[in-house]
Amino acid sequence: MEKINLLVDTDVFIDYFNTGRFANILESRRFLIYYSRVTEKELLSKKGLRTSEKEAILYTMKNYRQIGIETTIALKYSELSKLYPSIDKEDVLIASTAIVKKLPLITRNYKHYAKIKGLVLFTGQG
């Protein structure tokens, strides 16, 4: 069976770490999971995070593929941030990554992303 490629939004990882929600996707062999470097920054910069929690996050994230901010993503970010100035810059960067890499984005924050043209949203049940 061919794997389904997905870009995972930060909120999905947060739910996974806090409650185990989305384990059916993040632990499944049916999916090839990608995440933006922005997601790593958001996860590790959470206020009050203990060293052991940071280490656990970094250890778990090794199971997935990180996408850095390359030139094509930065250019798409520039374009989208002008088109959608009300959307948080981190969300625009994650959306830019999904569009450039042609990956559907799985998120709980559907409303944040719904109006971005060219973005495919994945509605997986956690």
Is residue 25 a contact partner of residue 126, using CB atoms and an 8 Å limit? yes
63: containing domain: 4-122
Question: What does pTM read for this prediction?
Answer: 0.93
pLDDT tens-digit series, residues 42-89: 999 989 999 999 999 999 999 999 999 999 999 999 999 999 999 999
> How are strands ordered across the β-sheet holding 121-122?
65-67, 31-36, 4-8, 105-106, 121-122
Compute the C-alpha angle 103/117/67, nearest 5°. Answer: 30
> Any idea which residue has 């043209």 for tokens?
117
Q: What is the CATH number of the domain that holds 17?
A: 3.40.50.1010
Greater confidence, 1 or 73? 73
Average pLDDT over every residue of 36-47: 95
Domain count, the chain: 1
- % the chain with pLDDT above 70: 98
